[in-house]
Structure 1
Amino acid sequence: MKRKKKTSAEILADRVLEHVLKHQLEVGAHIKEVELSKILKVSRTPIRNAFLHLQNSGYLIKKPNQGFFLEKLPDQNLTSPRLGNENEHPDLDPICYNIGQEYLSGKLNRSFTENDLINRYQLGRKSIQEALIAMEKDGWLSRNIGYSWEFNEFISSPIAYAQSYRFRQLIEPEALRETGFTVDHTRLQMLRMSQIDILNNDQKLVSAADMFNAGVLFHETVVAMSGNVFLLDALKRVNRLRRLIEYNVNGKRPIPRKECEEHLHLLSLIEEGNLVEASSFLESHLERTAKEKEEIAKNLFG
């Protein structure tokens, strides 16, 4: 049986419970609407609906003229379900990135054998084979006749890197113009929470892996609402192929506030049904992002 999608109130309720765990609140703690609405960056009405859901679930109790209080603690293993796409882009073994980065920096030839890598990295054949298969699956490598492997030109060329963003500018805005585009408010709300998580990050720097995966999840979810499987498949392929470049380009970087704020604005346009305006905004967003990334990438390609 297909699992029923969570409502916005249920999603926010999960986030409230995560807040309880993160701050180690105790039973009897005053859970304030105003405070949570600021933390989660939503209005008080959806927060109130989330509180009512938690009251019905036994987590909160409402006291007359006082507000809501914590009635019981959530499970310590509570994990708020995201969009379900995270495992679609699982992180690769670090050796994969070492191999790819050495190639991009000119330390490794485009064509090589298993033995070349075994001798270079002093690893067992099984570890190298598993890394090569994983990179082949992600589209980084092609297997040649015999025992050699070769990096695909797509991920090693500054021209191709720029073209990948241009390709995204062509297909992603058009996805919003598809006649079959369906606004899924639950998925949009989950995306919103993900972006707010990044903005609320207490760390000054964020990892390239986290930002890449969050961005992929965001853009693929929006395109998926078009109902056009060809547009979605094309975007997924591009995202697989640009992962190594993105990790090199970003490294550790400050919280990308402008990127997150633009994502949130795009979500608002979609939620309001302003799809034509959303399409134009997405195109300009991708154009700005491309210029930013390409400027940083100049150092990578020399």
Structure 2
Amino acid sequence: MMQATPLHHELARAARALWLAEATPPGTPVTEAALAARLCVSRTPLRAALRLLEEAGITRREGRATLLADPTRDLPEETTRDPAETLAAEMVRAHGEGALQDPLREADLMRHFAQPRGVVARALGQLAKLGMVARNPAQGWHFAPGLTSAEDRAAAQRFRLVLEPAALLEPGYRLDAGFARAMRAGHEAVLARPWRDQHAVAFFEMNAAFHAGLAAGSGNRFFVDAVEAQNRLRALRNADWRFGEERAHASCREHLRVLDALEAGSPPRAAALLVEHLVSAGI
């Protein structure tokens, strides 16, 4: 059997995050064609991603059909990582530390990081998709405002403190019951098991899905788009971060308290708890 590549792991994580965010119920049919269209990929790499999902117990086979089983389960640890993804995180860190200055030229980056041109080009492409770098009109690239400095991160946290609690106070806010059940099960599973650093990626994905799902309850696409943009920036910033058991478990308990308040019909209380969580968690 072909070894899973970083792309296969990325697609498996994206599918899992999609099901969590949309509170897709267990037993829902999973079709290659529909999922490939949602993830904007061809069906060939998706098949390998679906094998990873089945091995993890996130999906299951029933005859010739594939059904969603339990999206709160963890995916297997990725044994290899795309060097471009690693380089992208290193570039962001180096820029934040002042070791990289604009303009960014591929030849200079190749020398600085001792990486071939193809890896450098892919890393720049990944950062461009996140809106963190952009091409210069003449030559080279430049970093766009993002989360590359302490000032940027503080500004982003202030923005989230305004944005995310406000989504819970939108008229007619409605928490999706399926989403709430899936999130509660996922968070309780984290609290019930010993923490390992390899859980960090899956934990961040659940964290991002939680915040996106809260925003989705507002029914306001502008809140949803803004929260998802912040999630993309946080994903890159946290690419090589290790949460640690204390912070991961504290975040779980804080998230569960927000869910409790929403399920009790008190969005104002939930918004206040979300503010407390964002302050304690930082960016």
* Normalised TM-score (structure 2): 0.67
Aligned to 1:78: 57
Choose from 161, 164, 184 the match for 1:192: 184
Q: Are the equivalent residues in 2 in contact too, given 1:223–1:231 (CA < 8 A)?
A: yes
Aligned to 2:109: 117
Aligned to 2:226: 234
Aligned to 1:6: 25
1:200-240 Cα offsets, whole Å, 9 max, x none, are: 33235465534432221111111111110001111122222
Choose from 137, 140, 149 the match for 1:148: 140
Provide the rounded CA distance (Å) in 2 between the counterparts of 1:94 and 1:204: 20
Provide the rounded CA distance (Å) in 2 between the counterparts of 1:237 and 1:4: 20
Aligned to 2:119: 127
Q: Are the equivalent residues in 2 in contact too, given 1:139–1:240 (CA < 8 A)?
A: no
Once the two structures are TM-superposed, the CA of residue 77 in structure 1 deviates from its matched residue by 5.7
Provide the rounded CA distance (Å) in 1 between the counterparts of 2:23 and 2:214: 20
Aligned-pair Cα RMSD in Å: 2.9
* Secondary structure, counterpart of 1:154 in structure 2: coil
Aligned to 2:242: 251
Query: Percent of counterpart pairs with the same letter?
Result: 26
User: What are the ranges of 5 or more consecutive residues in structure 1 without an aligned counterpart?
Assistant: 12-74, 294-302
Superposed counterparts of 1:85-234, under 5 Å: 93-205=85-197, 208-234=200-226
Aligned to 2:264: 272
* Normalised TM-score (structure 1): 0.63
Q: Are the equivalent residues in 1 in contact too, given 2:168–2:215 (CA < 8 A)?
A: yes
**Structure 1 residues 77 and 241, CA gap change in structure 2 (3 angstroms):** closer
Provide the rounded CA distance (Å) in 1 between the counterparts of 2:131 and 2:113: 22
* Secondary structure, counterpart of 1:261 in structure 2: helix
| Rg comparison, structure with higher value | 1
Residue-pair matches, total? 217
1:22-71 Cα offsets, whole Å, 9 max, x none, are: xxxxxxxxxxxxxxxxxxxxxxxxxxxxxxxxxxxxxxxxxxxxxxxxxx
User: What are the ranges of 5 or more consecutive residues in structure 2 without an aligned counterpart?
Assistant: 1-21, 29-53, 59-68, 76-81
1:175-220 Cα offsets, whole Å, 9 max, x none, are: 1111132221111111112212322332354655344322211111
